[in-house]
Amino acid sequence: MIKKAFPIFFLLLTIMVTYYAMILTDFKLNTLKKGLHDSYFFIEQMFPPSWEDFKDLWNPALETVALALLGTFLGTILSLIIAFFGASNLTNKWVKQIVRSLISVERSIPELFILLILIAAYGLGALSAVLALMIGCIGMLGKLFADAIEETPVSVIESLKAAGASKVQIIYFGILPDLFPKLISYSLFRFEINIRLSVLLGAIGAGGIGYELDYAFSMLQFHRALSCLIVVLVLVIAIEQISLYIRKKLSISQL
């Protein structure tokens, strides 16, 4: 009888929890219904986008891409180095455990807050943004790279070790070549994420399209804001397609 009651019990529990959560977050469908009118009106106000503004959004767009590019590139190198210390086939148990935990901790810190801390130290600007993106990569890439390194067949490492190769040589000649396609693939994936983050961080003052968007909103220049939004959308879609294309080519050709 208990077995039969279990699903019902579970369902009741879910309903109760959901109800409580809705109270906690002020979830009222009525508010939403009324609010959607306001949103619609608001969005309507933003149309049409101001076409003249597009030409001076070109530079901020490039800035956003540059930030993401630099951040991803440096972040990949940093994460790779850290990943070597987090791979069980390259270091002893304690080091690996500590490094992996640090990587997990980094993953739990939202990039926005890393930026806020960096801004408190280095002020608003590109330096803080690049550093924030770079450090933000560690959580994801550090784990992915370390896992991939651990997938290297044991015999590759052992045979090089038996031939007398030093650890650096084993990494460079034995592990990195086979790791390379995954390296590029994961980095591209992170690059997509970093473009979105770059826009987000820009809104807090780092520069680029995000900054323009935030500025336009606060200056109530809604048409300009829509233009910014369109640029953001185009940017994100374009980068995603390019990244997808490269990653597909990578998995087919080089294997």
Restricting to residues 40-79, name those near another protein by CB under 8 A: 42-43, 62-63, 66-67, 69-70, 73-74
Would you count residue 92 as binding another protein (CB under 8 A)?
no
Shortest spacing between CB 192 and another protein, in angstroms = 10
Instruction: Write the CB contacts of 4 (distance below 8 Å, at least 6 apart in sequence).
Output: none
Instruction: Check residue 6 for interaction with another protein (CB under 8 A).
Output: no
Residues 170-189 that bind another protein (CB under 8 A): 172-174, 176-178, 180-181
Output 1 or 120, the one with its CB closest to another protein. 120
Write down the least CB distance from residue 232 to another protein, Å.
Answer: 6
Q: Does 156 bind another protein (CB under 8 A)?
A: yes
Report d(CA 126, CA 66) in Å as an integer.
10
Tokens of 216: 């336009």
20, two tokens: 């409580």
Segment interacting with another protein (CB under 8 A) among 50-58, 87-95, 192-200, 242-250: 192-200
* Cα–Cα distance measured from residue 45 to residue 172, given in angstroms and rounded to the nearest whole number: 57
Cα separation, 88 vs 101, in Å, equals 13
Q: Any contact of residue 246 with another protein (CB under 8 A)?
A: no
The CB-of-110 to another protein minimum distance in angstroms stands at 4
SS3 content of the chain, % helix, strand, coil (to 5): 85, 0, 15
DSSP 88: T
196 lies in the binding site for another protein (CB under 8 A): yes
